[in-house]
A and B are shown apart, each in its own frame.
Chain A
Amino acid sequence: MEPTLTVRELTRRFGRRTALDRVSLEFGTGVTGLLGPNGAGKTTLIRILATTLAPDGGGVRAFGLDPADREQRRALRRRLGYLPQNPGVYAHFTAFELVEYVAILKEMNDRRARHDEVRRVLAEVDLGDRARTKVRRLSGGMRQRLALAQALLGDPDLIVLDEPTVGLDPEQRMRFRALLSRLGESRTVLLSTHQTEDVTTLCGRVVVLKAGSVVFEGGPGELAARAAGRVWLTTAPPAGTYWRTPDGRYRTLGDRPPEAVPGEPGVEDGYLLLLGAEGVPA
């Protein structure tokens, strides 16, 4: 893999709290998923990559551009699509106006081409028929898709999405996955999520952050494989944390409970074991 985006020794502190601690990563063409518990530093990393937050230490290099430099940062922004974790909207704009506003700020000056592009991205997120609707009349999931649409403007080379699937219904989630996997064929896509399902179905690569540090880097299969031999199914409720499966058995992680049979490990199992979540032995 030829890296398009490199992160070296990235550190960011907020007061006395270290949100990112000397993180070094490489990203290439394809979709990378970013997992980690609340407060792990996912958003901090994404904001630094989206050039809206400056690191305290270390550096980023994307397509050979250094965002620490004013002009190179601007050049990078021209090739960037960004969906923040809490994308704002102007309630009194129409969907079309909102995306067009962003398009203008993305320096799309030709009116015709810009309008075509706005229509294209609205269609990508299935909002083509809502272009003239005021944003305040859109549902929460529609607003999320609208925010996603503006991140797709201009077909950027680098797409960073902070929890893009929040609020999407299953149909839209599927649509979104289809869209991203298509983009991942030629672009560098990074998305953070709490849905391990997103990672399983979409990402060629997973990065797990914990307390500002990278604790895993690899394919989703590798993450799932970490749980091999540690997923169990029992007929009686075992000790520790467990949940009932639809077939009436009990699923648990860790050491084998008495009379348990092995279960099929998934990305989530690997993730939970990796983090040593409560009730789950690390």
Chain B
Amino acid sequence: MTLAVFELRRMVRNPLIWAAVVIAVVVEGARASQWWPDLTFVTVRAVTASTLVAGAVLVAANLAAGRDRRGGLPESLGALPSRAPARTRAVLLAAPLAGALAAAAVIVPLVGYALLRGPVAGTFDGWEALNGVALAALAATAGAALARWTPWPFTSLLVIFGFAFLLVANPRGEYGGWALPWIATHDATLGPRPSAAHLLYLVAVAVAVGAVALLRHGPRPVPAAVAAVSLAVAVPVVAQAAHLPKPAPVACRDHDGLTFCPRPGHEPWVAGWAAALRPITSVVPPRALARVPELRQELYGTLPLVWRPGVSETGVAGAVAESAAGLEPGPGCGRARTVVALWLTGRVAALDHERAPANWSWPPGAAGPGDGWHVYPLTESGHTAVVPGRLNGAFYDDADLANARALLRDPGAADRVRAHWTTLTDPATTTVDAAPLLGIEAVTGRGLCGEPR
């Protein structure tokens, strides 16, 4: 016990662990600050960030447990009454505790930061947060076990690289699933995560690994039994966790003439979404707004799962403007309603975001793009490009953009669009026809409004 306290004091002062804590908090905090706080996500991300601490703890525990075989000290220590199993036990007590503290030092500030920022959506899952704490504890026992079973400290680095690769190359956990010690990317449409079960799994594995570390000192019945029992707990738990519960039903609500369908727990964001879309809803007549389909928050839905101010508006505004103006996917060049839709979008988000980078050419012979992407002929080069959803699938060219920009510069445009809404959104009305109503000098296109491949 005395030795465990000594090891704990050293661990708590370990600069490697503290550096990991600071880096995890700063990097993840900076990243999170770009998004609206979603506690469900924030917790998952904070736990993922704490894997950095788990790595540091693994190294620190490995060095501490292997210390009695380094530095020429084995000879001195061999003449002391305390034996090696006692040293292993001390590290197995101290390192998981220090790891848990360090992980908590990452997770608590990140969750607190989210709470401070508001508007907070999602739900805080305490079990989820404890997963990060348990992962650090597991890493600590793993470090100790590695020190006892392998003679080289760098095996701990190999293990860390292995897991880091698994984390980075397999972010959605396709390989390993719930058996992975973390759940990196949270797919909200899957519904509540089996975080309590996963916590039990991590704890059971940590205990098993600790027992394995002790078994290095000889086949003793107690650690052998503990290892067997914890594995007997861990395996069925993780198998059970694979059967996910159904997500809670989505409740839709109306706001400013639009219907928003947030995911459960994301109701606090509706007001924010409505505020972001107000430059559109304040111009479009109610009957046109009624044409806009429900705005559903889901994976590949109109409303994204996470919201990044300054970026996420573009897609939603484009979708709302396109539906309100009656645009359909396909060529829309030279039509007045295309200009109106672009103008509406531009009132929410800079139209520049819609320009396709010239170097995004789609490789010849490649398969077509997936959801939310389409092929667009590049004005400058004649090459086709793959660009993210532009007005949700309606095409336009530089002339339409130029007309919309001219309209954006005109402070009286809103009143005129409101007054002539029916004519302007008639599919037969061309931009040239509408120019007097819009009060702009219409620029005409060069026929580059291509068909998707």
* A residues with CB within 8 A of B: 47, 50-52, 74-75, 77-78, 80, 82-84, 86-91, 97, 100-102, 104-109, 111, 114, 147, 150
Chain B positions 48 through 83: 1 when the CB is less than 8 Å from some CB of chain A, otherwise 0? 000000000000000000010011111111111110
Tell me the chain B residues, 340-369 only, with Cβ under 8 Å from chain A. none
**A77 contacts B75, C-beta separation under 8 Å:** no
Q: Enumerate chain A residues within 8 angstroms of B10, measured Cβ to Cβ.
A: 97
A215–B76 CA distance with the chains assembled, in angstroms: 29
With contacts A106-B80, A106-B81, A107-B81 known, is A52 near B75, CB below 8 A?
yes
Asked whether any CB of chain A lies closer than 8 Å to the CB of B381, the reply is no
**B75 contacts A84, C-beta separation under 8 Å:** yes
A87–B77 CA distance with the chains assembled, in angstroms: 10
Contact partner, A105, options B70, B72, B82, Cβ 8 Å = B82
Q: Enumerate chain B residues within 8 angstroms of A147, measured Cβ to Cβ.
A: 76
**A86 contacts B3, C-beta separation under 8 Å:** no
**B81 contacts A88, C-beta separation under 8 Å:** no
**B75 contacts A105, C-beta separation under 8 Å:** no
Q: Enumerate chain A residues within 8 angstroms of B3, measured Cβ to Cβ.
A: 104-105
**B80 contacts A102, C-beta separation under 8 Å:** yes
Q: How large is the interface on B (under 10, 10 to 19, 20 to 34, 35 or more residues)?
A: 20 to 34
Contact partner, A77, options B2, B73, B81, Cβ 8 Å = B81
Nearest-Cβ distance from residue A5 to partner chain B, whole angstroms: 15
Contact partner, A51, options B72, B73, B78, Cβ 8 Å = B78
**A104 contacts B2, C-beta separation under 8 Å:** yes
Q: Enumerate chain A residues within 8 angstroms of B81, measured Cβ to Cβ.
A: 74-75, 77-78, 105-107
Q: List 29 A-B contacts (CB under 8 A).
A: A47-B75, A50-B79, A51-B79, A52-B75, A52-B79, A74-B81, A75-B81, A77-B79, A80-B79, A82-B76, A86-B75, A87-B75, A88-B74, A89-B72, A89-B73, A90-B73, A91-B71, A100-B6, A101-B6, A102-B76, A104-B3, A104-B82, A105-B81, A105-B87, A106-B80, A106-B81, A106-B82, A111-B2, A147-B76
Main SS of chain B's interface residues? Answer: helix
Nearest-Cβ distance from residue B120 to partner chain A, whole angstroms: 43
A80–B79 CA distance with the chains assembled, in angstroms: 8
Q: Enumerate chain B residues within 8 angstroms of A102, measured Cβ to Cβ.
A: 76-77, 80
Closest A residue to B82 by CB, please name it: A105
A109–B86 CA distance with the chains assembled, in angstroms: 13
**B82 contacts A88, C-beta separation under 8 Å:** no
Chain B positions 73 through 103: 1 when the CB is less than 8 Å from some CB of chain A, otherwise 0? 1111111111000010000000000000000
Q: Enumerate chain B residues within 8 angstroms of A50, measured Cβ to Cβ.
A: 78-79
**A89 contacts B80, C-beta separation under 8 Å:** no
**B72 contacts A52, C-beta separation under 8 Å:** no
Contact partner, B76, options A75, A78, A109, A150, Cβ 8 Å = A150
**B67 contacts A105, C-beta separation under 8 Å:** no
A52–B82 CA distance with the chains assembled, in angstroms: 13
A41–B203 CA distance with the chains assembled, in angstroms: 51
Nearest-Cβ distance from residue A259 to partner chain B, whole angstroms: 52
Nearest-Cβ distance from residue A15 to partner chain B, whole angstroms: 20
With contacts A90-B67, A104-B2, A109-B2 known, is A77 near B80, CB below 8 A?
yes
A210–B239 CA distance with the chains assembled, in angstroms: 68
Closest A residue to B87 by CB, please name it: A105
4 cross-chain pairs, A with B, having the tightest CB-CB distances, nearest first = A88-B72, A52-B78, A88-B73, A105-B82
Question: Interface centre among A47, A75, A82, by most B CB within 10 Å?
Answer: A82
Nearest-Cβ distance from residue B359 to partner chain A, whole angstroms: 50
With contacts A100-B6, A111-B2 known, is A105 near B77, CB below 8 A?
yes
**A88 contacts B79, C-beta separation under 8 Å:** no
Nearest-Cβ distance from residue B392 to partner chain A, whole angstroms: 60
A111–B6 CA distance with the chains assembled, in angstroms: 10
Using A80-B79, A82-B76, A104-B2 as known contacts, list a sample of 20 further A-B pairs with CB atoms less than 8 Å apart, ordered by residue number in A.
A47-B75, A51-B78, A51-B79, A52-B78, A52-B79, A75-B81, A77-B81, A84-B76, A87-B73, A88-B71, A88-B74, A90-B67, A90-B73, A102-B76, A105-B80, A105-B81, A105-B82, A106-B82, A109-B2, A150-B76
A6–B259 CA distance with the chains assembled, in angstroms: 95
